[in-house]
């Protein structure tokens, strides 16, 4: 079974509108972390936002917010007031079994290509 599922291969949004990118995950761990990354056409991976499984409040970072619904195992990314520069590939990722010492690997979804239009 896929650990991270992103069901939207491509999305279009008009400039200044909000957009939601879907992500569902599958884990039996109680302690895990969820990440969103942005990858422009140049290829670099840019960290956007993080949500821990025990965080009670949804994470927010500027125009990015994470709609975390633990019971449904979903971690959707909401981008408010879209800008042309938001056009990129967006990846959801999960780190399971959070431990001290670091090093647990990330599992990535297949991504959603977002295109912001005028």
Partner 1 sequence: DGGITQSPKYLFRKEGQNVTLSCEQNLNHDAMYWYRQDPGQGLRLIYYSQIVNDFQKGDIAEGYSVSREKKESFPLTVTSAQKNPTAFYLCASTPRGTGGQVEHFGDGTRLSIL
- Chain residues binding partner 1 by CB under 8 A are 4, 9, 31-33, 35, 42-45, 47, 50, 52, 91, 93, 95, 97-111, 113
| Whole-number Å distance between alpha carbons of 50 and 113 | 20
- Per-residue tokens: 49: 């936002």
Taking the complex as a whole, how short is the minimal distance between the CB of residue 78 and partner 1, in angstroms? 20
* C-beta closer to partner 1: residue 85 or 101: 101
* C-beta closer to partner 1: residue 32 or 68: 32
Taking the complex as a whole, how short is the minimal distance between the CB of residue 118 and partner 1, in angstroms? 25
* C-beta closer to partner 1: residue 56 or 118: 56
- Residue 18 near residue 82 (C-beta atoms within 8 A): yes
Taking the complex as a whole, how short is the minimal distance between the CB of residue 87 and partner 1, in angstroms? 15
| CA angle (106 as vertex; 53, 116 as ends), nearest 5 | 85
Q: Is the dihedral of CA 103, 66, 23, 111 positive or negative?
A: negative
């Amino acid at each position: 079974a896929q650990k991270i599922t992103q069901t939207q291969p491509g999305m279009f949004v008009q400039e200044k509108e909000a957009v939601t990118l879907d992500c569902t995950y599958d884990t039996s761990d109680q302690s895990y972390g969820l990440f969103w990354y942005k990858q422009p056409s140049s290829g670099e991976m840019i960290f956007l936002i993080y949500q821990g499984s025990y965080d009670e409040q949804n994470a927010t970072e500027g125009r990015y917010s994470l709609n975390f619904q633990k019971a449904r195992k979903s971690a959707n990314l909401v981008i408010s007031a879209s800008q042309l520069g938001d056009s990129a590939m967006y990846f959801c990722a999960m780190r399971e079994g959070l431990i001290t010492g670091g090093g647990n690997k990330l599992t990535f979804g297949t991504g959603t290509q977002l295109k912001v239009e005028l």
